Structure 1
Amino acid sequence: MTSEGQKPVTILFDSIVETDYGQFDLVWGDGEGFDGDWDRVFDGHVNGLAGSASGDGLYVNLGRRSGGSQVRMVLVDAQPTVGDDWEDIVEVSIVVPDGPVQWAAWAWDDSGDLALPAGTYRVRVNARGRDAGAEDEFAEEVVDFYLLEIWAAPADPDAIVRTTSKNAEYWHRENGGRR
Protein backbone atom coordinates (compact mmCIF):
# COMPACT_ATOMS: atom_id res chain seq x y z
CA MET A 1 0.00 0.00 0.00
CA THR A 2 1.68 3.22 -1.12
CA SER A 3 0.85 6.60 -2.46
CA GLU A 4 3.08 8.80 -4.57
CA GLY A 5 6.24 9.83 -2.69
CA GLN A 6 5.65 7.41 0.23
CA LYS A 7 7.62 4.30 1.08
CA PRO A 8 5.86 0.92 0.73
CA VAL A 9 3.95 -0.09 3.86
CA THR A 10 2.62 -3.52 4.82
CA ILE A 11 -0.04 -3.36 7.52
CA LEU A 12 0.62 -6.22 9.95
CA PHE A 13 -2.02 -5.30 12.51
CA ASP A 14 -4.58 -2.54 13.00
CA SER A 15 -7.11 -2.95 15.76
CA ILE A 16 -8.32 -1.87 19.17
CA VAL A 17 -6.55 -4.03 21.72
CA GLU A 18 -8.48 -4.86 24.88
CA THR A 19 -5.88 -5.27 27.60
CA ASP A 20 -5.25 -4.98 31.28
CA TYR A 21 -2.21 -3.62 33.09
CA GLY A 22 -1.30 -1.78 29.87
CA GLN A 23 0.38 -4.89 28.51
CA PHE A 24 0.94 -5.55 24.82
CA ASP A 25 3.48 -8.11 23.59
CA LEU A 26 4.97 -9.47 20.41
CA VAL A 27 6.17 -13.01 21.11
CA TRP A 28 8.24 -15.60 19.23
CA GLY A 29 10.14 -18.80 19.96
CA ASP A 30 9.42 -20.06 23.46
CA GLY A 31 8.42 -16.59 24.67
CA GLU A 32 5.32 -16.23 26.79
CA GLY A 33 5.13 -12.45 26.92
CA PHE A 34 5.86 -10.10 29.79
CA ASP A 35 6.02 -12.00 33.07
CA GLY A 36 6.48 -9.07 35.46
CA ASP A 37 10.30 -9.19 35.43
CA TRP A 38 11.17 -5.61 34.47
CA ASP A 39 14.92 -6.33 34.63
CA ARG A 40 14.68 -9.20 32.13
CA VAL A 41 12.70 -7.11 29.64
CA PHE A 42 14.45 -3.73 30.04
CA ASP A 43 18.04 -4.82 30.82
CA GLY A 44 20.41 -2.47 28.99
CA HIS A 45 17.60 -0.09 27.96
CA VAL A 46 17.29 3.64 28.58
CA ASN A 47 13.58 3.79 27.65
CA GLY A 48 10.74 2.46 29.77
CA LEU A 49 8.02 2.01 27.13
CA ALA A 50 9.31 -0.81 24.89
CA GLY A 51 11.42 -3.65 26.27
CA SER A 52 13.21 -6.10 24.00
CA ALA A 53 16.08 -7.34 26.17
CA SER A 54 14.63 -10.83 26.79
CA GLY A 55 15.23 -11.88 23.18
CA ASP A 56 11.95 -13.80 23.03
CA GLY A 57 9.63 -10.88 22.38
CA LEU A 58 8.88 -7.20 22.59
CA TYR A 59 6.89 -5.76 25.49
CA VAL A 60 5.08 -2.46 24.86
CA ASN A 61 3.79 -0.60 27.92
CA LEU A 62 0.50 1.09 26.98
CA GLY A 63 -0.62 4.24 28.79
CA ARG A 64 -4.07 2.89 29.55
CA ARG A 65 -4.16 0.30 32.31
CA SER A 66 -7.44 -1.32 31.24
CA GLY A 67 -9.70 -1.10 28.24
CA GLY A 68 -9.19 -0.55 24.55
CA SER A 69 -6.14 1.08 22.97
CA GLN A 70 -5.70 1.58 19.22
CA VAL A 71 -2.60 -0.27 17.99
CA ARG A 72 -1.32 -0.32 14.44
CA MET A 73 1.82 -2.17 13.29
CA VAL A 74 3.37 -1.65 9.90
CA LEU A 75 6.36 -3.14 8.15
CA VAL A 76 8.23 -0.58 6.05
CA ASP A 77 11.17 -1.02 3.69
CA ALA A 78 13.35 1.72 5.24
CA GLN A 79 13.60 3.91 8.31
CA PRO A 80 10.60 6.27 8.26
CA THR A 81 10.71 9.94 9.14
CA VAL A 82 9.70 10.91 12.66
CA GLY A 83 6.10 12.13 12.70
CA ASP A 84 5.16 15.42 14.37
CA ASP A 85 1.78 14.12 15.55
CA TRP A 86 3.22 11.63 18.07
CA GLU A 87 3.84 12.72 21.67
CA ASP A 88 6.17 9.93 22.76
CA ILE A 89 8.55 7.93 20.57
CA VAL A 90 11.09 5.23 21.41
CA GLU A 91 13.07 2.80 19.28
CA VAL A 92 14.36 -0.70 20.04
CA SER A 93 15.93 -3.52 18.06
CA ILE A 94 14.55 -7.04 17.86
CA VAL A 95 15.78 -10.28 16.31
CA VAL A 96 12.91 -12.48 15.15
CA PRO A 97 13.83 -16.13 14.47
CA ASP A 98 12.12 -18.47 12.03
CA GLY A 99 8.77 -19.60 13.30
CA PRO A 100 5.47 -18.13 14.39
CA VAL A 101 5.13 -14.62 15.76
CA GLN A 102 2.13 -13.64 17.86
CA TRP A 103 0.76 -10.50 19.46
CA ALA A 104 -0.90 -10.71 22.85
CA ALA A 105 -2.54 -8.55 25.47
CA TRP A 106 -2.32 -9.28 29.18
CA ALA A 107 -2.80 -12.97 30.10
CA TRP A 108 -3.36 -13.70 26.39
CA ASP A 109 -6.98 -12.53 26.80
CA ASP A 110 -6.67 -10.97 23.34
CA SER A 111 -4.10 -12.41 20.89
CA GLY A 112 -3.42 -13.48 17.34
CA ASP A 113 -0.83 -14.36 14.71
CA LEU A 114 1.41 -11.76 13.13
CA ALA A 115 2.98 -12.17 9.66
CA LEU A 116 6.43 -10.83 10.57
CA PRO A 117 9.21 -12.72 8.76
CA ALA A 118 12.44 -13.73 10.49
CA GLY A 119 15.05 -10.98 10.57
CA THR A 120 16.74 -8.23 12.55
CA TYR A 121 14.54 -5.17 12.87
CA ARG A 122 14.31 -1.72 14.36
CA VAL A 123 10.94 -0.93 15.92
CA ARG A 124 9.76 2.63 16.46
CA VAL A 125 6.95 2.82 18.98
CA ASN A 126 4.98 6.04 18.50
CA ALA A 127 2.37 6.99 21.12
CA ARG A 128 -0.29 9.64 21.53
CA GLY A 129 -2.72 10.00 24.44
CA ARG A 130 -0.70 8.23 27.15
CA ASP A 131 -1.69 10.83 29.76
CA ALA A 132 -5.36 10.59 28.78
CA GLY A 133 -5.12 6.79 28.96
CA ALA A 134 -3.59 6.89 32.42
CA GLU A 135 -6.07 9.47 33.72
CA ASP A 136 -9.23 7.94 32.27
CA GLU A 137 -8.40 4.26 32.00
CA PHE A 138 -12.03 3.15 32.07
CA ALA A 139 -13.28 5.54 29.35
CA GLU A 140 -15.62 3.84 26.91
CA GLU A 141 -13.91 5.41 23.88
CA VAL A 142 -10.31 4.91 22.78
CA VAL A 143 -8.07 7.64 24.24
CA ASP A 144 -4.55 6.33 23.51
CA PHE A 145 -3.06 5.44 20.13
CA TYR A 146 0.08 3.54 19.10
CA LEU A 147 1.92 3.04 15.83
CA LEU A 148 4.69 0.45 15.69
CA GLU A 149 6.85 1.02 12.60
CA ILE A 150 9.13 -1.95 11.85
CA TRP A 151 11.99 -2.05 9.33
CA ALA A 152 15.00 -4.27 8.66
CA ALA A 153 18.09 -2.80 10.32
CA PRO A 154 21.16 -3.91 12.24
CA ALA A 155 20.73 -4.13 16.00
CA ASP A 156 21.40 -0.87 17.85
CA PRO A 157 20.85 0.23 21.46
CA ASP A 158 17.37 1.47 22.28
CA ALA A 159 16.69 5.20 22.13
CA ILE A 160 14.22 7.75 23.43
CA VAL A 161 13.35 9.90 20.43
CA ARG A 162 10.70 12.12 22.03
CA THR A 163 8.95 12.38 25.40
CA THR A 164 6.18 14.88 26.09
CA SER A 165 3.69 12.99 28.29
CA LYS A 166 3.97 12.72 32.07
CA ASN A 167 3.09 9.04 31.76
CA ALA A 168 6.07 8.32 29.48
CA GLU A 169 8.38 10.35 31.76
CA TYR A 170 7.25 8.19 34.69
CA TRP A 171 7.89 4.90 32.87
CA HIS A 172 11.28 6.05 31.56
CA ARG A 173 12.28 6.76 35.19
CA GLU A 174 10.71 3.52 36.48
CA ASN A 175 11.86 1.04 33.82
CA GLY A 176 14.52 2.84 31.81
CA GLY A 177 18.07 3.67 32.77
CA ARG A 178 19.13 0.02 33.00
CA ARG A 179 22.04 0.63 30.65
Structure 2
Amino acid sequence: MTTPRTVYDGELRVHYCQFDVVSGTEDHVDFGGRTGQRNGLCIATTPGALFLVTGLHTGTVGLTVELHDTSPPIEDHWEEVVEVSFRPVSSRLAVVPWGDGALCETRLDVRDHRVRYCALGMDEARERESEILEGDLTVDRYLLQFWPAPPAPDGVIRQTSASAAYWHGLTAGN
Protein backbone atom coordinates (compact mmCIF):
# COMPACT_ATOMS: atom_id res chain seq x y z
CA MET A 1 0.00 0.00 0.00
CA THR A 2 1.21 3.49 -0.80
CA THR A 3 1.72 6.12 1.88
CA PRO A 4 0.58 9.49 0.56
CA ARG A 5 2.42 12.74 0.95
CA THR A 6 -0.27 15.31 1.63
CA VAL A 7 0.54 18.51 -0.23
CA TYR A 8 -2.58 20.39 0.84
CA ASP A 9 -5.58 19.72 3.07
CA GLY A 10 -7.90 22.65 3.59
CA GLU A 11 -10.26 25.06 1.91
CA LEU A 12 -10.38 26.20 -1.70
CA ARG A 13 -12.39 29.19 -2.97
CA VAL A 14 -14.11 28.39 -6.24
CA HIS A 15 -15.84 30.55 -8.81
CA TYR A 16 -17.72 29.29 -11.86
CA CYS A 17 -17.47 25.67 -10.55
CA GLN A 18 -13.77 25.47 -11.34
CA PHE A 19 -10.12 25.52 -10.38
CA ASP A 20 -6.90 24.59 -12.16
CA VAL A 21 -3.73 22.62 -11.63
CA VAL A 22 -0.81 24.00 -13.62
CA SER A 23 2.83 23.19 -14.10
CA GLY A 24 5.44 25.57 -15.40
CA THR A 25 5.78 29.25 -14.69
CA GLU A 26 2.26 30.40 -15.53
CA ASP A 27 -0.61 30.25 -13.03
CA HIS A 28 -3.28 30.28 -15.76
CA VAL A 29 -3.58 28.50 -19.09
CA ASP A 30 -6.11 28.55 -21.89
CA PHE A 31 -7.92 25.25 -22.09
CA GLY A 32 -8.46 23.77 -25.50
CA GLY A 33 -11.84 22.23 -24.74
CA ARG A 34 -12.95 18.74 -23.86
CA THR A 35 -12.23 16.98 -27.15
CA GLY A 36 -11.08 13.42 -26.61
CA GLN A 37 -12.20 13.28 -22.95
CA ARG A 38 -14.69 10.78 -21.52
CA ASN A 39 -15.05 12.45 -18.13
CA GLY A 40 -16.18 16.02 -17.58
CA LEU A 41 -14.77 16.64 -14.08
CA CYS A 42 -11.00 16.58 -14.68
CA ILE A 43 -10.04 17.91 -18.10
CA ALA A 44 -6.51 17.06 -19.23
CA THR A 45 -6.50 18.31 -22.83
CA THR A 46 -3.89 21.05 -22.31
CA PRO A 47 -0.29 19.83 -21.82
CA GLY A 48 0.89 20.35 -18.25
CA ALA A 49 -2.46 21.52 -16.91
CA LEU A 50 -5.73 20.23 -15.49
CA PHE A 51 -9.11 21.97 -15.45
CA LEU A 52 -11.23 20.70 -12.53
CA VAL A 53 -14.97 21.08 -11.95
CA THR A 54 -16.80 21.36 -8.62
CA GLY A 55 -20.47 21.11 -7.70
CA LEU A 56 -20.45 24.50 -5.99
CA HIS A 57 -20.56 27.49 -8.33
CA THR A 58 -19.13 30.06 -5.93
CA GLY A 59 -17.88 29.60 -2.38
CA THR A 60 -15.59 27.36 -0.37
CA VAL A 61 -15.02 23.64 -0.91
CA GLY A 62 -12.74 21.21 0.87
CA LEU A 63 -9.68 19.97 -1.02
CA THR A 64 -6.93 17.47 -0.31
CA VAL A 65 -4.00 16.99 -2.69
CA GLU A 66 -1.81 13.90 -2.33
CA LEU A 67 1.27 12.47 -4.02
CA HIS A 68 1.66 8.68 -4.11
CA ASP A 69 4.36 6.26 -5.28
CA THR A 70 1.79 3.82 -6.71
CA SER A 71 -1.93 3.73 -7.41
CA PRO A 72 -3.81 4.18 -4.11
CA PRO A 73 -7.00 2.23 -3.36
CA ILE A 74 -10.28 3.97 -4.12
CA GLU A 75 -12.16 4.68 -0.91
CA ASP A 76 -15.84 3.70 -0.92
CA HIS A 77 -17.21 6.98 0.46
CA TRP A 78 -16.33 9.02 -2.67
CA GLU A 79 -19.43 9.53 -4.82
CA GLU A 80 -17.56 10.59 -7.97
CA VAL A 81 -14.22 9.21 -9.15
CA VAL A 82 -12.47 9.95 -12.45
CA GLU A 83 -8.93 9.38 -13.69
CA VAL A 84 -6.75 11.03 -16.33
CA SER A 85 -3.18 10.86 -17.53
CA PHE A 86 -1.01 13.89 -16.86
CA ARG A 87 2.54 14.94 -17.64
CA PRO A 88 3.77 18.22 -16.11
CA VAL A 89 5.76 20.57 -18.36
CA SER A 90 8.03 21.46 -15.43
CA SER A 91 8.57 20.19 -11.90
CA ARG A 92 6.53 23.07 -10.41
CA LEU A 93 2.93 22.03 -9.77
CA ALA A 94 0.38 24.51 -8.42
CA VAL A 95 -3.31 24.41 -7.49
CA VAL A 96 -4.82 27.67 -8.70
CA PRO A 97 -8.28 28.98 -7.83
CA TRP A 98 -10.10 30.78 -10.65
CA GLY A 99 -8.85 34.34 -11.03
CA ASP A 100 -6.24 34.02 -8.27
CA GLY A 101 -2.64 33.01 -7.63
CA ALA A 102 -1.45 29.60 -6.48
CA LEU A 103 -3.19 28.17 -3.40
CA CYS A 104 -0.41 25.62 -2.92
CA GLU A 105 2.65 24.40 -4.77
CA THR A 106 4.74 21.25 -4.82
CA ARG A 107 7.32 19.49 -6.96
CA LEU A 108 6.36 16.69 -9.32
CA ASP A 109 8.80 14.82 -11.56
CA VAL A 110 8.47 15.64 -15.25
CA ARG A 111 7.22 12.21 -16.29
CA ASP A 112 3.89 10.53 -16.93
CA HIS A 113 1.44 10.38 -14.04
CA ARG A 114 -2.07 9.20 -13.36
CA VAL A 115 -4.41 11.61 -11.60
CA ARG A 116 -7.49 10.55 -9.66
CA TYR A 117 -10.07 13.19 -8.85
CA CYS A 118 -12.71 12.23 -6.27
CA ALA A 119 -15.76 14.22 -5.19
CA LEU A 120 -18.34 14.11 -2.43
CA GLY A 121 -21.46 16.29 -2.09
CA MET A 122 -21.63 17.85 -5.56
CA ASP A 123 -25.45 17.84 -5.79
CA GLU A 124 -25.92 18.97 -2.20
CA ALA A 125 -23.55 21.91 -2.78
CA ARG A 126 -25.58 23.03 -5.81
CA GLU A 127 -28.82 22.76 -3.83
CA ARG A 128 -27.48 24.64 -0.79
CA GLU A 129 -25.37 27.27 -2.58
CA SER A 130 -27.14 30.32 -1.12
CA GLU A 131 -26.84 28.85 2.37
CA ILE A 132 -23.13 28.15 1.79
CA LEU A 133 -22.49 31.71 0.57
CA GLU A 134 -24.19 33.20 3.64
CA GLY A 135 -22.39 31.12 6.25
CA ASP A 136 -19.21 29.30 7.07
CA LEU A 137 -20.34 25.98 5.63
CA THR A 138 -18.40 23.51 3.49
CA VAL A 139 -20.58 20.90 1.81
CA ASP A 140 -18.61 19.45 -1.09
CA ARG A 141 -15.18 17.94 -0.73
CA TYR A 142 -12.54 16.88 -3.28
CA LEU A 143 -9.46 14.66 -3.36
CA LEU A 144 -6.76 14.97 -6.01
CA GLN A 145 -4.17 12.16 -6.13
CA PHE A 146 -1.06 11.89 -8.35
CA TRP A 147 1.21 8.87 -8.93
CA PRO A 148 3.67 7.82 -11.66
CA ALA A 149 2.00 5.71 -14.36
CA PRO A 150 2.13 5.25 -18.12
CA PRO A 151 -0.42 7.16 -20.23
CA ALA A 152 -3.89 5.62 -20.46
CA PRO A 153 -7.30 6.87 -21.58
CA ASP A 154 -9.24 8.95 -19.08
CA GLY A 155 -12.23 7.34 -17.48
CA VAL A 156 -15.21 7.61 -15.19
CA ILE A 157 -14.67 5.12 -12.36
CA ARG A 158 -17.75 6.07 -10.33
CA GLN A 159 -20.59 8.50 -11.06
CA THR A 160 -23.62 8.96 -8.79
CA SER A 161 -24.65 12.64 -8.90
CA ALA A 162 -26.69 14.65 -11.38
CA SER A 163 -23.95 17.32 -11.31
CA ALA A 164 -21.29 14.85 -12.44
CA ALA A 165 -23.64 13.39 -15.06
CA TYR A 166 -24.16 16.89 -16.48
CA TRP A 167 -20.42 17.57 -16.77
CA HIS A 168 -19.70 14.10 -18.18
CA GLY A 169 -22.49 14.72 -20.71
CA LEU A 170 -20.66 17.78 -22.04
CA THR A 171 -17.85 15.52 -23.20
CA ALA A 172 -20.13 13.01 -24.94
CA GLY A 173 -19.55 12.93 -28.67
CA ASN A 174 -16.29 14.89 -28.53
> What is the TM-score of this pair, normalised by structure 1?
0.87
The C-alpha deviation readout for 1:76-132, integer Å capped at 9, x for no partner, is 111122211010110001001334222111111663323333221101111000001
Please tell me the residue identity of whatever aligns with 2:164: A
Please tell me the residue identity of whatever aligns with 1:116: L
Displaced runs of 4+ in structure 1, greater than 4 A? Answer: none
What SS is found at the alignment partner of 1:107? coil
In the aligned structure 2, how far is the partner of 1:30 from the partner of 1:173? 32
Corresponding residue for residue 145 of structure 1: 141
Aligned residue runs from structure 1 range 1-150, under 5 A: 6-29=1-24, 31-33=26-28, 35=30, 40-108=32-100, 111-138=103-130, 139=132, 140=135, 141-150=137-146
> What is the TM-score of this pair, normalised by structure 2?
0.89
Question: CA shift at 1:73, angstroms?
Answer: 0.8
In the aligned structure 2, how far is the partner of 1:100 from the partner of 1:77? 18
| 1:94/1:122 contact within 8 Å kept | yes
Which residue of 150, 154, 158 maps to 2:150?
Answer: 154
Query: CA separation of 1:34/1:144 partners in 2, compared to 1, >3 Å: closer, same or farther?
Result: farther
| 2:12/2:62 contact within 8 Å kept | yes
| 2:12/2:60 contact within 8 Å kept | yes
In the aligned structure 1, how far is the partner of 2:108 from the partner of 2:22? 11
Question: CA shift at 1:169, angstroms?
Answer: 0.5
Aligned length in residues: 170
In the aligned structure 1, how far is the partner of 2:142 from the partner of 2:4? 16
Corresponding residue for residue 3 of structure 1: none
Structure 2: runs of 5+ lacking an equivalent: none
> More deviation in 150-159 or 73-82?
73-82
Structure 1: runs of 5+ lacking an equivalent: 1-5
Please tell me the residue identity of whatever aligns with 1:80: P
In the aligned structure 1, how far is the partner of 2:101 from the partner of 2:121? 23
In the aligned structure 2, how far is the partner of 1:120 from the partner of 1:12? 19
> More deviation in 80-89 or 115-124?
115-124
What SS is found at the alignment partner of 1:172? helix
